[in-house]
Amino acid sequence: MGAEEAAPCRHAGAPPADVVERVSQLIRSLGDEEALLTRHGITSEEFREALWPTIQKMRGSSSAGVGDRRQFIRGMLNHLVSSDLVTRFEEPQYGDDTVYRLSVPGMTEDVAIIQKGCPDGAHSSIRWSVPDWAGEAYLWWVCDSMASEPGTHVHKGVGRLFQRFRDERPDQLAGVIFHNELCGGSRRLCPKMEHAVVIDGRETPPPCVYVMPDRDPAANEWNWNGGQQRKFPAVLMKAFGIPEEQAPFFIGDIGYRFTGGKRKINIVSRYGLARTTSHRS
């Protein structure tokens, strides 16, 4: 099984990877179809120069903007407040990094939620920083892309995170979260719908949460077999009616190993009692 096993959900109607590759090859080869391009008033050189900007424009028009992502996160955090699981949260100011500050009863330090887009981009998995005030910090990947299965997106992001995990900067992530408005809908089928709650008028299942390992520069293996403990994931699960004693059945793990100059990744996702899916690479 492939990287899609890093998450339990699947996209409905998502094209197979080989079809996506053939379409990609077709688009790139259009630059050689001079007769076709001439009928549309475009030269081969113009097509090749405009191809990448056009793709970027199409991606931007079809992807959720920062405002949409903020609206989704705001709805989730308001639900935590109304459920008496978070006493308050501070929203980021315009122009600042999109980091939310949560005050959680029972936690001595505040929790940072760092809002990002799809995890396979450098901006979403490498370019971030943890505030000094954070006791636990989480990257929240608000990803609406159906180009790959959710697990494949997660796997790519976790691979990119290893670069930050091993560098000299002090930032320590407690975990990552993969969740947006597609989750539980007809386009992103979720096996956790029995625990869904209504948020902003939408049936919303519990998010996929993965605990990151603690950093230890002297080690060559980090959380490889799981067991790393964090506090906030259980709080998040409680917002979906999952009691604290059952929360471990819904919280995944990320493990790294570095031997022989090669990086290894172990991703485990849990979505109920004795219900797990995993991918090692």
Contact status, residue 9 vs residue 150, Cβ threshold 8 Å: yes
Torsion of CA 250, 278, 204, 116, to 10 degrees: 110
- Asked if pLDDT for residue 62 goes beyond 60, the answer is no
pLDDT digits (tens, 9 = 90+) for 130-139: 999 999 999 9
Q: From residue 254, give the alpha-carbon distance in Å to each of 17, 103, 134, 137, 230.
A: 25, 25, 20, 15, 13
Length reported for the chain: 281
pLDDT digits (tens, 9 = 90+) for 35-47: 888 888 888 888 8
Alpha helices in 166-215 (DSSP H): none
Q: What mean pLDDT comes out for the span 76-101? A: 90
pLDDT digits (tens, 9 = 90+) for 146-172: 888 999 999 999 999 998 898 888 789
Q: How confident is the model at residue 57, as a pLDDT?
A: 66
Q: How would residue 16 be classed by pLDDT, with cut points 50, 70 and 90?
A: low
DSSP string, 28-92: HHGGG-HHHHHHTT--HHHHHHHHHHHHHHHHHHHSPPHHHHHHHHHHHHHHHHHTTS-SEEEPP
28 vs 24: CA distance, rounded Å: 6
Q: How confident is the model at residue 64, as a pLDDT?
A: 47
- Higher-confidence position of 20 and 213: 213
- Higher-confidence position of 19 and 280: 280
74 vs 237: CA distance, rounded Å: 17
Q: Percent of the chain scored above 90 by pLDDT?
A: 64
89 vs 64: CA distance, rounded Å: 23
Q: What mean pLDDT comes out for the span 254-260? A: 94
Q: How confident is the model at residue 60, as a pLDDT?
A: 54
- Asked if pLDDT for residue 2 goes beyond 60, the answer is yes
Alpha helices in the chain (DSSP H): 17-29, 34-39, 44-62, 66-82, 122-125, 150-165, 232-238
Q: What mean pLDDT comes out for the span 210-236? A: 95
154 vs 9: CA distance, rounded Å: 11
Average pLDDT, the chain: 90
**269 — phi, psi (to 5°)?**
-115, 135
Residue 111: count of CB within 10 angstroms of its CB: 24
Q: What number of helices (H) and strands (E) belong to the chain?
A: 7, 14
142 vs 73: CA distance, rounded Å: 8
User: For residue 21, what are its two tokens?
Assistant: 């590759």
Identify the CA nearest to 228 among candidates 209, 247, 213: 213
